Homo-oligomer: A and B are copies of this chain.
Amino acid sequence: MDDKKDEVYGDHISHKFNDELMELKAEFLTMGGMVESQVENAIQALVDGDGHLAEQIRLNDKKVDRLEVSLDEEATLIIARRQPTARDLRLVISVIKMVADLERIGDEAKKIAKVAMTLAEEGHAPRGYVEVRHIGVHVQTMLHDALDAFARLDSTQALRIMKEDKRVDEEYQAAARALLTFMMEDTRNISRCMSVMWVLRALERVGDHACNIAENVIFMVEGEDVRHTSVEEAERVVTG
């Protein structure tokens, strides 16, 4: 860009480009907030046996799906029009990947809502609610922190979430084992315990997806792919 006109023009383009990236980030966080509510409400519907709330979650999932499609479109348009490279390209591609994680968290919330509807009719399961609440709070915090780490591009916080995922897995294993033991001792309620088992699994998956988002934040910020690496290796990447 040699003359003034080009400079102004180039500046204008790059402003618009930045606006588009900001807009993409903002919409991703909107979708994230929506999915957070879905998980929270699904757990609430289950614990309260609230079939009405569960139905609401199923309806809201369509909004989540629509956001997935529109965010993907927007990200693809940015690549086609702005031809981002380096850090900007990593951001856009990470958004495309993380949007899929958010959509799947939404699906898990929908599965929990489905169980909530069944149990709202059949009556509470005799066990497992304490564990559902406990793991529920844990993965909700992970998801919230992952979205926050993305908003602030904070790879140190993202690393903390990767560490939490291991704990959630352990909590899930312990809860599933305890529920299975209960099923073997009190065989009258196998069907309803099984329903709670699916909820525990769904929550564990929410934790996995929050962890995926955290890994993408580290990739965006540090430029290194820490999926399938040990937490120690990820720590080395983040702390340099």
Contacts and interface: CB of A to CB of B under 8 A. Distances in A.
A65 B183 contact: no
A166 interface: no
Contact of A85 (B80, B85, B89, B93): B80
A184 B187 contact: yes
A180 B190 CA distance: 8
A221 to B, nearest CB: 16
Interface string A30-65: 000000000000000000000000000000001001
Contacts of A184: 187, 190-191
A1 interface: no
B228 A66 contact: yes
Interface in A184-218: 184, 187, 190-191, 194, 197, 201
Interface in A2-28: none
A86 interface: yes
B191 A72 contact: no
Interface string A85-96: 110011001001
A83 interface: yes
A93 B79 contact: yes
A191 B179 CA distance: 11
A227 B194 contact: no
A141 interface: no
B190 A69 contact: no
A161 B155 CA distance: 39
A94 to B, nearest CB: 10
Contact of A96 (B65, B80, B93, B191): B93
A76 B100 contact: no
B65 A90 contact: no
A65 B228 contact: yes
Interface in A83-132: 83, 85-86, 89-90, 93, 96-97, 100
